[in-house]
Structure formats: C-alpha cells, structure tokens
Amino acid sequence: MRRPAFLVAGGDLRQLYTARALLPEGSVSVLGFDENVNLPEGLERLDSMELSGKRADYLVLPMPVTEDGVLVHAPFARHSIPVAGLPGLVKADGAVFGGRIHPAVRKVFDGGAAVVDYYQREELSVLNAVPTAEGAIQIAMEELATTIYGQNVLVTGFGRISKVLVRILTAMGAHVTVTARKYQDLAWAEISGCRAVHISRLEETLPGYDLVFNTVPAVLLDEARLWKLRSDALIIDLASKPGGVDFDTASRLGRKTVWALSLPGKVAPITAGDMIACTIRNILKERSFADD
C-alpha cells in the first residue's frame, strides 16, 4: 500500500518536530526552513522552486498559519510562502491541517482539499497548556529576584492554561489567587487550593500581588487596575492578541510586563511538535483520510 506524502510548510521549530513525529505515517518533506536549520533525520528539505509537479496528500501548516492572510508564518524561510500558492502544494482530494486558520486560507481551498483546524481540538488545547504553563513559570523565575515559593500570585481566568498553571504554582509553594467571572470557575479554583476572587472585586486585591499571570484575551489590566498594582509587580501576559494588558500604560507607569506568546514552540518544541502530530493522527483516523 502506498504511503501518504506529508508536506510541513512554514512555522517555528515545533513544526520540524511535528514533521519528525509524522515519519512513521508516510514520507515527510518540509518547506520554509533554509539550510541554516538542521533537520531531524529522515526529513526532506524542499525549496519553493522544487515543488513543480509535487503535491502532497496532506499539507501541515503552522499555528497560527498566517497573521495577515497573505503570507504563511515562516520565520526560518529564505523565500516567503504566499497563502495564494498553497493549493498547489496539496492534492485536491487531500487535507490541509493548521492552527488558528485565517479565513483567507479557507477561501483559497474552497472546493478543494479539506481544511481542518487542529487547534480547535480539545486534546491539543489541553496538552498545549502544559508547555505554556511551564514556560510562563520559567519566565517568572528568570525575571524575579525571588523564589516562586511564598509569593502572592494572581492568575486571571480559569481556562485550560490556568488550571495547569495553578497546580504547578501551588506545588511550588506560591499563594495563588484566581479571578474569574463565572462562579463555577471560582468554585473549581477554590477546590484546587486557591483563593477565589470574583472579577468585580479584583481592584481591592491588586496591591497585594507580587506576580500576575493573565490568560484572558481582552484588556483586563487597564490603566485603573495597573495603577493599583505595586510598582515592582511582574505581569506575564499569556493571552493571544490583543492581549489582556494595556501595554502602553504599563510602560508609562513602569510596570514590568512580558507578553509571552507561542510559548510551546519556544520552550518545548519537541513536546509541542509531538502533540500536534498526535492530534493530526487522531483527525486522520476519525475522518478516514488514512487507513487505520
């Protein structure tokens, strides 16, 4: 039986390890990684000029696929990868996988290859929370002149990342407060060993925190709330764009803020790549794109 051909195009280092993890499933080529990037053994490096007549069964794109809808996110590429050219990389009856897929990507494949957003899969979102939380704590340990132990820490929101984050923080001896809007989230935070504060009461608690982790993708820490934080408090924003902090005001007030995006690919690219590959295999099985 013919082994399927995968093409992994663009992305950061986690995409290389996604490609490596897919090797047992078929032949795997990568596009968007110049010769200065060492490839894991078994992968074929493609230049954009080599693609004529070669179409993959499955095209694997990064997370996010594109910021502007025009070019694929490809920080290691010598040549840009235009979104408009993606249909030429994959068979019309094949499948395209990507994370946080831009509408422009779906549009170019309209009527062609199936487009699947692996970031919408619950198993990936849950697993991805682990390297994100660990990476956030790594940043805190590098930026603070104190231990995590004994610090008063605020975590905003109580989604997947926060749930993992508070488990690690409490195990390290931090005094953790969770703020959220939903009372059910506050209840879960409380039984996780945290102090729970409804978002409506956040302001009165702000002066007491040494460290703040934001996971809410809306501007929660605005000027009024930033004023209430101590001047030496560290803010680590884990939220996707537009983020949860008024960064201009934070800079003006001298509040130290780190906007930590795409942490899995930066701090644990092998683990992150393995997680993406595992999710793609799950999708292939469920959708009968491949024989099990």
Domains of the chain from N-terminus onward: 5-120+268-287 (3.40.50.720), 129-261 (3.40.50.720)
Segments of the chain scoring below 50 in pLDDT: 49, 52, 289-292
Q: Hey, is 111 helix, strand or coil?
A: coil
What pLDDT, on a 0 to 100 scale, did the predictor assign at position 292? 45
* Interatomic CA distance for residues 133 and 218, integer angstroms: 19
- C-alpha closest to that of 277 among 12, 15, 7: 15
Longest CA span, the chain: 66
What pLDDT, on a 0 to 100 scale, did the predictor assign at position 35? 86
What pLDDT, on a 0 to 100 scale, did the predictor assign at position 50? 59
Give the up-direction half-sphere exposure of residue 207: CA atoms within 13 A in the CB hemisphere.
2
* Interatomic CA distance for residues 289 and 231, integer angstroms: 54
Q: Return all residues near 168 (Cβ < 8 A) that are at least 6 apart.
A: 133, 134, 137
What pLDDT, on a 0 to 100 scale, did the predictor assign at position 47? 79
What pLDDT, on a 0 to 100 scale, did the predictor assign at position 1? 65
